[in-house]
């Protein structure tokens, strides 16, 4: 911080000073988040579950996994993280998982990942899906120019 203040006093711009301070704060907060993610465990020994989400890995590109999380209110969130970190927990592209934040002490919160089993669609559900899809497909107007 002192080096940035000296730069400003020696003729640096206020914009640069503000940008530098914000950048260092963002870097510090990001490091804290990554440190928390680095403490992931498969099965925590004890603790209070703060939040729990059901997730789905939608794609993996290089070492980046893209996923969706369904929150209890029904809202769908999207995100990305290290594919290797998810693979360490047995979670791969196309699989479902549970993501939980667990309070382990006064200031220690851990993030856990647990793969969920695949859900098989029953024959009745598949037929119902096909029928509703056919109805929507039949009602669609493909003559309009998009």
Q: What is the 3-state secondary structure (H, E, C) of 52-89?
A: EEEEEEEEEECCEEEEEEECCCCCEEEEEEEHHHHHHC
pLDDT, mean over the chain: 75
Q: How far is 79 from 66, CA to CA, in rounded Å?
A: 6
pLDDT at 96: 92
Q: How far is 82 from 68, CA to CA, in rounded Å?
A: 14
Domain boundaries for CATH 2.40.50 within the chain: 40-121
Q: Which CATH number describes the domain made up of 40-121?
A: 2.40.50
pLDDT at 2: 43
pLDDT at 60: 94
Pairing of strands 96-103, 48-61: antiparallel
pLDDT tens digits, one per residue of 98-138: 988 888 877 788 888 899 987 777 888 888 888 888 888 78
pLDDT tens digits, one per residue of 32-59: 555 555 555 444 556 888 888 899 999 9
């Amino acid at each position: 911080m002192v080096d940035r203040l000296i730069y400003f006093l020696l003729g640096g711009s206020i914009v640069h000073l503000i940008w530098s301070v914000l950048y260092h704060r963002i870097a510090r907060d990001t490091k804290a988040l990554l440190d928390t993610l680095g403490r992931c465990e498969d099965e925590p020994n004890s603790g209070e579950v703060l939040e729990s989400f059901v997730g789905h890995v939608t794609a993996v590109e290089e070492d980046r996994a893209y996923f969706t999380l369904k929150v209890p209110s029904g809202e769908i969130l999207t995100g990305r993280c290290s594919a290797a970190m998810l693979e360490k927990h047995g979670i791969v592209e196309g699989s479902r998982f549970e993501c939980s934040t667990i309070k382990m002490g006064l200031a220690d919160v851990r993030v856990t990942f647990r793969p969920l089993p695949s859900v098989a669609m029953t024959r009745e559900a598949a037929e119902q899906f096909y029928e509703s899809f056919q109805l929507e497909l039949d009602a669609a107007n493909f003559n309009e120019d998009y």
